[in-house]
Homo-oligomer: A and B are copies of this chain.
Amino acid sequence: MTNARAFEVNALKADLSAFLGDRLSTSQAVREQHGQDESFHPCAAPDLVAFAHNTDEVSRIVKACARHKAPVIAFGAGTSLEGHVNAIMGGVCIDLSQMDKVLSVQGEDLDVTVEAGVRRRQLDEYLRDTGLHFPVDPGADATLGGMAATGASGTTTLRYGAMRENVLAIKAVLADGSIVELGNRARKSSAGYDLLHLLIGSEGTLGIITELTLRLYGRPEVEASGVCAFDSVQNMVDAVTLAIQCEIPLARMELMDELAIYAVNHYAGLENEVAPTLFLEFHGTTASVADDQQRFADIANELGGKGFRASTSPEERKKLWRARHEALYAAKALNPGKKGLITDVCVPISKLAQSIADTRKDFDEHGILAAVVGHVGDGNYHTTLWVEPDDEAALKTAEGAVKRMVERAIAVGGTCTGEHGIGIGKRLFLQQEHPSAMTMMCTIKRALDPDNIMNPGKVVEV
């Protein structure tokens, strides 16, 4: 608590500990653990960490912060990637991880209501025997509240949509501590302003999500995995585009570029052909999956796909996708001790091949060794630039490459982030992408959070 604060930390602490007791922590270890996510942004510890047990407690904590005009930041699993949770102006971190109850499964309505701290894998486990599943899969074992707050998505967006399409309703605490219920368990509604989607992806800057109702889907009867190499990223993208136009209902379509394949071959002793490679997943019935595979095979053949193979056997499926699953570990292993600048952009799919080619060229010109993986059906791709922790020059080079990659994406009608969000890392890019909308964003932020206490300094600057 060395920084100058615009609020009285000790008075706030007294207010909070009165009802939180030992669930309010000032320990340095706990504060530091809550001062960063999985990104390279340096830790900024909150002054206090409050472990909340229910929505009413979150409301009381926010009310206390409102009285003291102290920043308040929600924390789930800490798996965000743009410094979303870093307490850059101090204040109170509300850890929601103990709010981890699945409250009710409504099987007939295909929805489930959970507390915000429930994690993705925990929910998956919970649903195992119901024949239902929640498909949004960002990779990390994030909390569902955090996934909603950051507008997460992942490998299955193509088929099932992102969080945006799969959160039906939320309970949230606003900047004055009031509790709102937004959305509806009905499958559609035209009743009033869509505040549900205003909060989804607002990264805790407009409210803190404490409960969610999520869409569920019947588990597919049959799942098949497939893999197919291509001569070029362009051919791969053409195949993917055609598959989408033909309405082949692919569940996943993941791209790894040559460098990513090379890295994972090296790391895991695999023998994949070093070529742009597409990893596919098919969901359906025995008949529909067979039909979909055949239709995809025809398209791949036409577009220079090499050695497309697919299987429904669990063992075979693991083998086929092994390169994809090991991609992150391979990259980490090749860069021991380095920190990774992980970033993502998303472009209209007609621009994807050129966008990746431009990025590769830029990396080559600047001596950057970074693989590209992507959710190719969405036009979304990721890269991680590895730098030595104290190498300022390398960090600058990496940041410059990210900047150019993002600016090229915006220039072709894309977005500075498909699924990681803005946090502190992409605020300037948000301004570049949405110059006309920024005023409106700031107006809404000021109207809903006039004292700027909700995760201040993230998304918008007011």
Contacts and interface: CB of A to CB of B under 8 A. Distances in A.
Contact of A414 (B186, B295, B415): B186
B206 A201 contact: no
A284 B349 contact: no
A52 B227 CA distance: 53
A11 interface: no
Interface in A159-192: 161-162, 164-165, 174, 178-182, 184-192
Contacts of A285: 291, 295
Interface in A224-280: 241, 244-247, 249
Contacts of A17: none
Interface string A200-230: 1110001000000000011011000000000
Nearest to A413: B185
A284 B192 CA distance: 35
Contact of A193 (B150, B350, B420, B444): B444
Contact of A109 (B350, B430, B434): B350
For A193, A291, A434, the residue with the greatest tally of chain B CB atoms inside 10 Å of its CB is A193
B437 A182 contact: yes
A447 B445 CA distance: 10
Contacts of A346: 184, 186-189
A440 interface: yes
Interface of A: 106-111, 131-132, 150-153, 157, 161-162, 164-165, 174, 178-182, 184-195, 197-198, 200-202, 206, 217-218, 220-221, 241, 244-247, 249, 283-285, 287-288, 291, 295, 346-350, 377-380, 409, 413-422, 426, 429-430, 433-434, 436-441, 443-448, 459-460
